[in-house]
Amino acid sequence: MTIITPICDRIELLAFYLQYYQRQGVERFVVALYDGEKSPLHDAIRRVGNRSKVDLHIRPSVICPLPEFSGPKETPGINLIREEFIRPDEWFAIADLDEFVRPLQADNLIDLASRAMASGYTAVHGPMVDRIAAPGQFPAIDPDNTLDEQFPFQCDLTEACGAMSSKIFLSQGHLAVENGHHWLNNGNVSIMRDGGEVHHFKWTSGIIGRLQNRLRHFRGQRLPWAEESAKLLKVIENGINLADPNLKVRIAQALGI
């Protein structure tokens, strides 16, 4: 199985990501990198891939000035990658670098894809759960400790703020990827709902600044996601309140990573 991974500006989770998805049955990793070889992350990504001993390929998602970068801008490039690496009848995975899919009622992603295909589905969807640290602050990623240890709780922060809180993370190669890969509007698609949980490791050091930058960026481009960033900033400006009943904070389901 191949996984497509869009990357723009951060790779501190990359080593964890490669290790985790290898265990999920992924054999080939294709990074859809903003600015391609021009990116300052290009060589670092290659080094992490070599250390992890994985079959890793890097392709540009979109090459443009950063103020012009957006999800809709990179989506055509991601689909070119899909067409290059994935056969029309082949299943593939797609996940951002902070998204770790936990299959439900399946041993790994390959097993989940087989079950979905046997039931007549052409794509698999799942809800996002936000992984957070105690006591609701935003730590830097520690490469020497597991993510389960660093982020022992999960909650519904994204959903509570009205942002898109589910993802398509598996689909057949003939289906085009859409912006954000939250859903598919292709005519000939049958989606298995809740086939896995998408564990979201977004809430790390620097998140306030990143959301502020996204808010300015989205407002500058007049994109509808500006309001989502504004809501998220308001909720987390003083850290995450673990006692907020709207967030439904609970002990996380361990990923073993």
Domain-wise residue ranges, the chain: 2-251
**Quick one: pLDDT at residue 187?**
67
The whole-number pLDDT of residue 52 equals 97
Residue 135 reports pLDDT greater than 70? yes
Stretch 61-81: mean pLDDT, rounded? Answer: 93
133/120 Cα distance (integer angstroms): 39
Poorest-pLDDT segment among 21-30, 38-47, 60-69: 60-69
pLDDT tens, residue by residue, 173-223: 999 999 888 888 776 789 999 999 999 999 999 999 999 988 888 788 877
Q: What is the C-alpha to C-alpha distance for residues 191 and 189, in angstroms, rounded to an integer?
A: 6
pLDDT at 80: 98
Above pLDDT 90, what percent of the chain? 82
Confidence of residue 113 (pLDDT cuts 50, 70, 90): very high
pLDDT for the residue numbered 184 = 86
Averaged pLDDT for residues 39-63 = 98
Question: In the predicted model, is pLDDT for residue 228 greater than 90?
Answer: no
Check whether 108 has a pLDDT greater than 80: yes
- What SS3 class is residue 215? helix
3-state secondary structure of 180: helix
Secondary-structure percent of the chain, ordered helix, strand, coil, rounded to 5: 35, 25, 40
2-251: in CATH 3.40.50: no
pLDDT-based confidence at residue 33 (cuts at 50, 70, 90): very high
Is residue 125 within 8 A of residue 167, CB to CB? The reply is yes
pLDDT at 124 over 70: yes
Q: Across residues 3-26, what is the average pLDDT?
A: 98
23: which 2 tokens?
């265990």
Confidence of residue 22 (pLDDT cuts 50, 70, 90): very high
What average pLDDT score do residues 118-127 get?
97
pLDDT in tens, 144-177: 999 999 999 999 999 999 888 999 999 999 999 9
